Structure 1
Amino acid sequence: MRRANGPRQLTELTDVYDFLDEVRLRPGMWLPRSSLKHLESLLTGYRAAMVVHGVEGEFDFWSPGTQGPFTEWLWHRLGRESPLSWATEIEREAEATGVPAIELLFRLFDEYRADRDRAS
């Protein structure tokens, strides 16, 4: 849970959701030009570090050999499959709807998490 007074230190974060809360809070610090491609690269590195260091846990964005649950949910939500990444598809959708890509990402991710929590 984010402190009411703002950003946290990296050492205070416990999982990828905490990290994404920090990105949401200050996207300009983490993502040049608010590019979802940069976020996708960060998250791929995050997952790779988990694998290298033997850290078990769910990861919604990508795992070796699979696109990940968020991508599968996104294809269903958008009503189409794509060979492109979740970042590319959200950027395309954002451009088509006139919504900033980072805003659309977090709107969709919140919806995904709510759907996932209801299914649990």
Structure 2
Amino acid sequence: MAEAEMARRAPRQLTEMRDVYDLLEEVRLRPGMWVRGSSLQHLDSMLFGYHVALKVHGAKEELDFRQGGPFADWLWPRLGYEYESSLGWAVEIKRAAEAMDRPAIELFFELLDEFRAGHPSSTGP
């Protein structure tokens, strides 16, 4: 999402969100509100909870952010790994961001945009 669009868009209510990507756009808009310290580990935990809730409630939505899921499968070669890191995507993005001297949450959203651009199934309903 373009920064100008984010700057003028008002936050949405939970009831207005359709899927995990809508939720992530809210996190992008105000990361400090959703994720303690803008930590990718906390974001990963939040997405794990989202995944558990989907399973508990029998929701049909597939979550791309689980270990071994589409996002991780796409990410490893993008970050230069030959195989999946056992530490998970959040740790590896944080390491990559530190090496670039960038905020990890900023790099995550940049990578998320790349992932979504190359995976039409992740564009939501």
Q: TM-score, normalised by structure 1?
A: 0.89
Aligned to 1:75: 76
Q: Secondary structure at the match of 1:6?
A: coil
Question: Partners in 1 of 2:102 and 2:26 — Cα distance?
Answer: 21
Match of 2:37 among 24, 33, 40: 33
- Give 4+ residue runs of structure 1 displaced > 6 Å after superposition: none
Q: Which residue in 2 is equivalent to 1:104?
A: 107
How many residues get paired? 115
* CA apart distance, 1:90: 0.3
Aligned-residue offset at 1:79: 1.7
Structure with the larger RCO, 1 or 2 (CA within 8 Å, 6+ apart):
2
Q: Deviations over 1:42-85 (max 9, x none)?
A: 000001000010001221101xxx52110010001112031111
Q: 1:116 maps to which residue?
A: 119
CA contact (8 A) 2:64 2:71 kept: yes
RMSD: 1.9
State how far apart, in whole Å, the 1-side matches of 2:61 and 2:33 are.
27
Q: Which runs of 5+ in 2 are unaligned?
A: none
Q: Which amino acid aligns with 1:71?
A: A
In 1: Cα distance, 2:9 partner to 2:109 partner: 21
Structure 1 residues not aligned, in runs of 5+:
none
CA displacement at 1:117 relative to structure 2 = 2.2
Post-superposition offset of 1:106:
0.3
- The residue type equivalent to 2:94 in the other structure is E
What is the one-letter code of the residue matched to 1:19? L
* C-alpha distance in 2 between matches for 1:58 and 1:74: 18
1:6-41: per-residue Cα shift (whole Å, max 9, x none)?
A: 100111111000000000000000111110000000
Does 2:9 align with 1:8? no
